[in-house]
Chain A
Amino acid sequence: MIVAERKPFDEIRQLIKGYKRVLTVGCGTCVAVCLAGGEKEVGVLNAELKLSQKTEAEPAGFGEATVQRQCDMEFLDEIQHMVGDYDAILSMACGAGIQFMAERYPDIPVLPAVNTVFIGVNKDVGWYEERCKACGNCALGVTGGICPVTMCAKSLFNGPCGGTNQQSCEINADQPCAWHMIYTRLERQGRLDNILQIFPANDWRNQKPQTLVQPGYEERKASE
């Protein structure tokens, strides 16, 4: 899941400065699950904004809506009837959702209310940990299910650097060395010979905006 966190209130306040009618839009999927931008958070943010406007001579008005996913046009269409009444949209979706919203409604400013932080897992209510950097060339099959790109501070693909220190990473004693973890996991599974496999340099040129078409849908895309 994509994990995000609410932007500091002051920053949001700055972002919406000058707009008289703001529509806050939540997303009912990833950011709802990580408790940053679902229907509840929309209500909370709007209450905060209303409170902060109390001292203004002409307080701004705030509306709210939450769609299933802001990264799907069909769901974005659902708020079309409301958008005309506002002069800015405050989106609580991840960066992708915000951009898609901006693309769908190009005539008014779409502003971010959250910071998109990472792709991660849910450890407990409100507690998330990063697990994948979407490098585009997944190594997990060889590395015992532990990501060297995310878990290694230097994103090394071929074993630890010289800083590996009794299970810890050199950046911090509390940070486990990814390659130590990989070694232990592979050993446990009797797959230690994997460790000798050399990865060619990752094609970081891939780190440009990407498009993915699932193989079964290529023809569908071509026909558009």
Chain B
Amino acid sequence: MTTKQQNQVEKIHLETTVAVIGGGYTGMAAAKTLAQNGYPVILARQENDGAWHDTSLTGLDGLKTLENQVADNGPIDILSQSTLIEAVGVPGDFTLTFMSEDRRVEKKAGAVVVATDLSSSPLTFIYGLTPCASVVSLSELESLLASETGQKEIGDKKKTIAFLVGFAHEGNPLLMQRVLESVRKIVEMDGCTAYVYVNNLKVAEDGLERLYKQGRDNGAIYFKLQTAPTVIQNNGDLRITFYDPVIRNNIELSPDIVVVEESLVADQQNISLAEILRIDLGPAGFLQKENVHRLPVNTNREGIFVVGGGREIQGLSKSLADVDNMLLQVRQLIGGGEKTVAAKAVVDREKCTICLTCYRCCPHAAIYWDDKAVISPAACQGCGICASECPMDAIQLTDFTDTEMTSRIREAAAAETKAAAPKIIAFCCQNSAFEAGTAAGLFHYDLPAGLQIIKIPCAGKVDINYILNALVEGADGVIVMACHTGNCKSESGNTYAKWRINDAYRKLEQIGIPKNRLEFATLASNMASDFARIVIDMEKRISQK
């Protein structure tokens, strides 16, 4: 019943092919960049990929040009009309199954890049309007402005164009940017007029203020209104009215075209991609959760990256920056196809009873199984959640083994302190509370004389056994300190810790030990004074007994 201590360092081979899912502008740019940097690419496209793209930006390759460049690039294997249906494996060795043109296709890839686009839906109906040649969506106007015939149609006939923005929904800087770009293009055409009816002008983002001024200087007229103006559509005939509180009168205008804002939403596909790839689905259907520890293009799984509109509402320039970031991450992971990795967590195969608990709990999907659980050293982030959950104590973190932790706890509980000072053991996550605690010491905050800090890789590593044994060994108080909700580097380490504390509370109650000897707190690394307050409070509390 001894635990084998393994300090495994392994040389692993990684597949250098990268699979890009999504063939819109961002997906193609990703494929091109990867191919140019020597990574063979699988580009999984769907029929309508690229249907929406941010056409407002100038100075970029057109979609067609990019398409040609991608097609000309040797190492890009294009799977058209393809949907991902299955994904297994670990970083450096994923096996992806697609349905491509009604055939099952299996591909190997070392990394996966999800590059789904945003999709836009017109909000015409919310304004009670019917789409026609003179009532168009923002995307339709952009296509008109991008084509020669469209420009002629608007420019030669010196058209007056009205925009409706921000009355149907909150809006966002990207949408605003697209409106402002279109307005600029229109007022630059000789004799054309632009009216913008807007609720809340969102020009916070870089460059938008300038764009806004540029348009206004060229004659664009902005009406900032609390409520939407009344638009009357009589076949092709349009009349827009609103009440101006300053001149205390209705103002009516008759534009040739009304452009209606649209909403930008996450691709529907993201939901199934998240499930198949076992990555977190964030708010509003984007493939990332808000997490301060997460690098721009990373997901909760190593080797699976998300760029562009797949992760948030963003325009092309930001998406292209994502592509560059992604290349850095791919290089770091795959490099030239070989690397040495040190296992952060290992399974004792004799003890493992293959209950699948670890597989189900690992937030980084780093665990799979043959006849026993196996941890991928390339994927594991060393959070220790699996080790704390394993019912057979079969998983050990190489830097934080149970044996080491147990003796750390014993030493901490036995440490000499001033006669009456209560002994407090604080388990502190190295990503947050441990730093806060260290800083509290350095800045000479008042700390309890009997405080002992035990560093843990993530609150997820706090085994309920550590908590109970700290009390058994003689600690008067135990505190577990984790990152704030939503900020855990391993997404759910703090959640698991919280559940275990609650379980421990139930147990203490049954045993008849005051619950206030145990506490759970969340902290950020810069909260040294809060750290001090929490531990001092506990000292006061348990000294009162």
Contacts and interface: CB of A to CB of B under 8 A. Distances in A.
Given A9-B511, A38-B353, A48 B392 contact: no
Interface string B391-435: 111100000000000000000000000000000000000000000
A38 B391 CA distance: 5
A29 interface: yes
A125 B508 CA distance: 23
A129 to B, nearest CB: 16
Interface in A9-52: 9-10, 28-29, 32-33, 35, 38-41, 43-44, 47-48, 50-52
B181 interface: no
Contact of B469 (A41, A47, A65): A47
B210 interface: no
A51 B472 contact: yes
A200 interface: no
B263 to A, nearest CB: 35
A124 interface: yes
Interface in B1-25: 1
B468 A48 contact: yes
Contacts of B472: 47, 50-51, 54
Given A47-B468, A47-B471, A51-B468, 9 more contacts: A9-B507, A9-B510, A10-B510, A28-B351, A33-B353, A33-B355, A39-B392, A40-B390, A47-B469
B356 interface: yes
A28 B464 contact: no
A8 interface: yes
Nearest to B474: A54
A66 interface: yes
Interface residues of B, number: 27
Contacts of B511: 9, 48, 51-52
Q: In terms of DSSP, what is the predominant structure of the interface of chain A?
A: helix
B491 interface: no
20 contacts: A32-B355, A32-B392, A33-B355, A35-B391, A38-B353, A39-B351, A39-B392, A40-B392, A43-B465, A44-B465, A47-B465, A47-B468, A47-B471, A48-B511, A50-B472, A51-B472, A65-B1, A66-B392, A122-B356, A125-B389
- 6 nearest A-B residue pairs (beta carbon): A47-B468, A38-B391, A33-B355, A9-B510, A52-B511, A32-B391
Contact of B353 (A28, A50, A54, A125): A28
B251 interface: no
A40 B510 contact: no
B512 interface: yes
Interface of A: 8-10, 28-29, 32-33, 35, 38-41, 43-44, 47-48, 50-52, 54, 65-66, 122, 124-125
Nearest to B406: A43
Contacts of B351: 28, 39
Interface string B474-511: 00000000000000000000000000000000011011
Nearest to B357: A125
A45 to B, nearest CB: 10
Q: Which of B353, B465, B472, B512 has the most CB of A within 10 A?
A: B353
Nearest to A35: B391
A32 B351 CA distance: 11
Nearest to B508: A51
Interface in B366-403: 389-394
B393 A40 contact: yes
Interface string B319-359: 00000000000000000000000000000000101011100
A39 B469 CA distance: 15
A44 B469 CA distance: 9
Contacts of A9: 507, 510-511
Nearest to A31: B391
A11 to B, nearest CB: 10
Contacts of B360: 124-125
A9 B509 CA distance: 10
A47 B513 CA distance: 13
A39 to B, nearest CB: 5
A38 to B, nearest CB: 4
A50 B1 CA distance: 21
Contacts of A29: 353
